[in-house]
Structure 1
């Protein structure tokens, strides 16, 4: 499959399934100067790794559609071949069973990125550290076994990662009878509240009416939080015994990284774009991980742990200092409009009862049509069912996640999938 991708033209590559996955692997091979090729194994039974791989056939779950290693070996172009490269450029020197499970999870992860909501990433695949991003979302999902009690801050992180925050620009479609004519930011009351505006909102102090609940200078606070984030990274990396840069030199480079967006935020104006949006959603840029690893002299694993630790801290601070105050302003706005939680629940229940699914056949990998946001349940209850189902059934959590997002992104064929659809 990957060999076929390498032989394809640029025009044909973008039409292949899992285009982003193959491009990520290709970039790793080029950057690390790895001579990646498939090696024929003359005697499969005598090969220690492939013999171990045969045990995979007895470990598969009927509910897990991920192809087995046996299936791969029987594929015409890959018969009796072994894969010797993982997505992060590390050769196959580990237990093949562990390797294949990890590779299958990564495969499912990149299936999600074929959905229409992630199309903008197709032009930016090379600047994302996919391995670190993958580890970050796994940490978000499985921070505890009892996922039914997921905290509000973790739920916020999932909503942000999948661009599902209940912002006014979304609620106007979710509740057309309540917010159709008012999608303005509850903080400033001037601009439409999109995700970028949420991070860059800077209310005019002269327009403050209610001094008991003054608006939050989101942009100013976010600049402070991002500055604290890069300072923590610089301090930790420069304190390494193998550090190649001092604190000030490393801090200057971190502050100037366009993918983090600190410089972009400081010079932000209405005609500019905030460049750190994908980073704040949880897509870690490669230049950040490369800079920390090269400047600190630490291994990739240790550098990744440092980045993940401080990034999760950054997300917690954004939740408490930016998102919760915004939700308070939204609550005051609802109260002034006589919109109560009971009214929202009533509307959603009614819409869910009357909703009818499209019955036309759907190809999940070729369609880019998106559903309008559905009025079913608050996203605050989301992520619980499919992750909890994965724990109970012992199935692959990414399969459940993939099924859920398909129902959000494409037209669903069967009504039996109704419990996957959430708004």
Structure 2
């Protein structure tokens, strides 16, 4: 299971406060389902919109493939409309079946519908590879970016790699920032590099700053600069 915040809260409640919500939207617990559908602060960076885009691309991919292969019986003119109307593609609001696809589970409604027209071999041979690609895209476009942000968010909370690897309570571990002067542990925008902006924004917000004051940062943020940030 992916180490979402709710998972970490169960594993190490002494490090991850049980009252903490999703670091990206601060509105809901960061469960596995919420991870892919977080509303976030800006629509262009929203995991929810990314998830919808990838899901609808998967639907189009599947539909094109099934329309191009031999079927057990002639496909009716309504086939495409009925396929698109299946609940597993329902994004507004997100359906239970839709979220199961993100976990690699094929909805029964999809296989039952396809089973009327195609053999089991044809169905599974078509479903397999696009679903794998869908999960890879979710990893790259949502999980990887979230993990980089989460890493800096943890540092803003004072949670270090040593603390995460230790089975001891935090009081038994030397806090890494205990000897760091205030002006270094809480940097200003003028003194940080581009690759440190994520850390600055997260720590500033934790200290009471507003998301609104950082909109320009998020508008200029793309996957490429995120990928340059290393994990220490």
Give TM-score, length-normalised by structure 1.
0.36
- Kept after mapping to 1: 8 A contact 2:4/2:30: yes
1:285 is the counterpart of 2:119: no
Match of 2:136 in 1: 316
CA RMSD of aligned residues (A): 2.6
- Kept after mapping to 2: 8 A contact 1:188/1:204: yes
Match of 2:165 in 1: 345
Residues 1:284 and 1:274: Cα distance change in structure 2 (over 3 Å): closer
Name the CA distance, whole Å, in 2 between partners of 1:216 and 1:309: 27
The equivalent position to 2:23 in structure 1, one of 170, 181, 186, is: 186
1:244 is the counterpart of 2:62: no
SS of the residue corresponding to residue 165 of structure 1 reads coil
Aligned-pair CA distance for 1:342: 2.3
Match of 2:98 in 1: 276
Match of 1:35 in 2: none
Name the CA distance, whole Å, in 2 between partners of 1:275 and 1:290: 13
* CA shift digits 1:174-197 (9 cap, x unpaired): 122221245311221222111222
Provide structure 2 residue ranges, at least 5 long, that are not aligned to the other structure: 170-232
**Counterparts of residues 165-244 of structure 1 (less than 5 Å):** 165-205=2-42, 216-242=45-71, 244=74
Name the CA distance, whole Å, in 2 between partners of 1:177 and 1:291: 48
* CA shift digits 1:240-264 (9 cap, x unpaired): 1447337x84443233212x2x32x
Provide structure 1 residue ranges, at least 5 long, that are not aligned to the other structure: 1-163, 207-214, 352-423
- Tell me the matched-pair count: 168
Name the CA distance, whole Å, in 1 between partners of 2:114 and 2:18: 47
- Kept after mapping to 1: 8 A contact 2:97/2:107: no
Aligned-pair CA distance for 1:281: 1.7
SS of the residue corresponding to residue 176 of structure 1 reads coil
- Kept after mapping to 1: 8 A contact 2:24/2:41: no
Name the CA distance, whole Å, in 2 between partners of 1:331 and 1:182: 19
Q: Which has the larger radius of gyration?
A: 1
The equivalent position to 1:328 in structure 2, one of 126, 132, 148, is: 148
SS of the residue corresponding to residue 244 of structure 1 reads coil
